[in-house]
Amino acid sequence: MAKTIVRCRGVTKEYVSGPLRVQALAGVDFALEEGAFATLAGPSGSGKSTLLNLIGGLDRPTGGTLEVDGVDTAKLSSAELARLRRERIGFVFQAYNLIPVLTAAENAEYVLLLQGRPEAERRARVRDVLQSVGLSGLEHRRPRELSGGQQQRVAIARAIAAHPALVLADEPTANLDSKTAASLMELMERLNRELRVTFLFSTHDPALIKRAHRVLLLHDGEVTHDGPPHEVTLS
Does an H or E element contain 195, and which?
A: helix 178-195
Mean pLDDT of 27-46: 93
Q: pLDDT over 90 for what percent of the chain?
A: 75
Q: 4-231 belongs to which CATH class? A: alpha beta
User: What are 17's strand-pairing partners?
Assistant: 20
Please tell me whether the overall predicted TM-score, pTM, comes out greater than 0.75 for this model.
yes
Which of 43, 50, 5, 44 lies closest to 26, judged by CA?
Answer: 50
User: Is the pLDDT confidence value at 229 over 90?
Assistant: no
Burial of 2 (0-12, 13-18, 19+ CB in 10 A): exposed
**pLDDT reported for residue 234:** 65
Q: Are 41 and 217 in contact (CB under 8 A)?
A: yes
Q: Are 190 and 28 in contact (CB under 8 A)?
A: no
How far is the C-alpha of 211 from the C-alpha of 145, rounded, in Å?
30
Q: Which residues, including other chains, have CB under 8 Å from residue 22's CB and lie 6 or more apart?
A: 14, 15, 16
Beta-carbon neighbour count of residue 224 at 10 Å?
A: 12
Q: What is the mean pLDDT of the chain?
A: 92
- Over residues 173-223, the pLDDT tens digits come to 888 888 888 888 899 999 999 989 999 999 888 888 889 999 999 999 999
**pLDDT reported for residue 40:** 95
Mean pLDDT of 40-45: 89
DSSP-H helix ranges across 74-177: 78-88, 104-114, 119-132, 148-161
Q: Are 24 and 50 in contact (CB under 8 A)?
A: yes
Going by pLDDT thresholds of 50, 70 and 90, the confidence category of residue 118 is: very high
9 versus 16: which is more confidently predicted? 9
Q: What is the CA radius of gyration of the chain?
A: 18
User: Is the pLDDT confidence value at 1 over 80?
Assistant: no
Q: Are 68 and 89 in contact (CB under 8 A)?
A: yes
Q: How far is CA 29 from CA 6, 11, 12, 62, in A?
A: 10, 7, 10, 14
- Over residues 64-110, the pLDDT tens digits come to 999 999 999 989 999 999 999 999 999 998 888 999 999 999 999 99
How far is the C-alpha of 68 from the C-alpha of 56, rounded, in Å?
8
**pLDDT reported for residue 133:** 92
